[in-house]
Amino acid sequence: MVEDKLSKYKEKRDFEKTPEPFTSQGSSSAKPRFVIQKHDASRLHYDLRLEVDGVLKSWAVPKGPSIDYTQKRLAIPTEDHPLDYIDFEGTIPQGNYGAGTVIVWDTGTYRNLKEKEGQKITMEQAIEEGHVEFYLEGEKLKGAYALIHTGQKGRKFWLFFKMKDLHHETSDILKERPESVLTGRLIEDLE
Ligand code: MN
């Protein structure tokens, strides 16, 4: 049940005080979507969210994504978010959970790439097993990425990284493209 998955999300927030969405309307698109939000909270970080079975499975990525496959970025699982969060951009007022500003740094669709013994497995199963592979079709991020848990301290620490392919990009996309893909705004513009 989507409602059960969102109980943690709802517990942490008072919707009279935060503009964050709380509904998870079904996806109309055939392809599942993803979003990476840049979130200037007590510490600046990025939030990777993948649409899986009616919610957004979420990981906080302190250093943000990299298009360089030699760079592996720490990713820490956070509570499932409602689907409506996918285009949330704005300010979470002081005193609320995650207080600070949020922009949609990248968004688009993805394809599940994970196979096991030649068979496709579901995203749910891949996440459960701690080894997720997907092809991002975003505005900034394109190509195959992986999310793999490190096995240390249970499932607390994962790594998010670009999978190796023919292209070797070394530029810093976070610096080159800091803006929101929805509005063109910088996070500083909201502060
Ligand atoms: Mn966050």
Q: For 48-102, how does the pLDDT look when each residue is reduced to its tens digit (9 = 90+)?
A: 999 999 999 999 999 999 999 999 999 999 999 999 999 999 999 999 999 999 9
Neighbours of 111 (CB within 10 A): 12
Mean pLDDT for the stretch of residues 104-126: 94
Q: How far is the CA of 39 from the centre of ligand 1 (A)?
A: 5
pLDDT of 190: 92
CA of 46 to the centre of ligand 1 (A): 6
Do 61 and 45 contact (CB within 8 A), yes or no?
A: yes
Mean pLDDT, range 22-32, rounded to an integer: 78
Q: What distances in angstroms separate CA 108 from CA 86, 104, 151, one per listed residue?
A: 10, 11, 29
Does the pLDDT at position 155 exceed 80?
no
Distance 179 CA to ligand 1 centre (A): 17
CA of 47 to the centre of ligand 1 (A): 5
Ligand 1 center to residue 58 CA distance, Å? 9
115 C-alpha to ligand 1 centroid (Å): 30
φ, ψ of residue 135 to 5 degrees: the values are -105, 115
In angstroms, the CA 38 to CA 50 distance is 15
Taking the centre of ligand 1 as the mean of its atom positions, its distance from the CA of residue 118, in whole angstroms, is: 35
Distance 38 CA to ligand 1 centre (A): 8
Ligand 1 midpoint to CA 102 (Å): 8
Nearest Cα residue to 156 out of 57, 60, 85, 47: 60
